[in-house]
Amino acid sequence: MALTENEVKRINVSMPVANDLKIGDILKQLQESTGGEVTVTWADVKNKPSEFAPSAHTHVIADVKDLQAGLDSKLESVKIDDVAGLQAELNSKLESVAVADVSGLKAELDGIKSRLDALEGGGA
């Protein structure tokens, strides 16, 4: 099967060296001149670098097409019952929480108790 013009362009722009040498054009010419498929092995490539060291980099979610929407849809579809044992684990954690562990809870409970005591005393 002959290389299409789009495939030739894609090969040429795949990396700077390929574009400089117009490798896609060369492959298409070879293919047309031999009347068939052209096979190039990695060993056939001359003067290639011995290492392809990756450079450290990061991406924000917006750099990846539709990633945020995909993550959001996963989050919306997960229910606590879907995660094996999560409800039981949450219940056991809640049972071990002391009033003192929750900032401001003691004061809030004391305020509620005072209001209840006032209601009970005022209603008698």
Q: What are the pLDDT digits (tens) for 83-123?
A: 777 878 888 888 888 888 888 888 998 998 898 888 887 65
Q: How many domains does the chain have?
A: 2
Domain boundaries, position 29? 5-44
Q: Is residue 27 part of a domain?
A: yes
Q: 71 with 106, same domain? A: yes
Q: 67 with 33, same domain? A: no
Q: Is residue 56 part of a domain?
A: no
- Reported as a single tens digit per residue, the pLDDT across 9-39 is 777 677 666 666 677 777 778 777 777 666 7
The residues near 19 (Cβ < 8 Å, ≥ 6 apart) are 12, 13
Q: 40 with 65, same domain? A: no
Q: Is residue 50 part of a domain?
A: no
Q: Is residue 34 part of a domain?
A: yes
Q: Which two tokens stand for residue 32?
A: 């047309």
Phi/psi for 78 (5° steps) reads -90, 130
Q: 103 with 69, same domain? A: yes
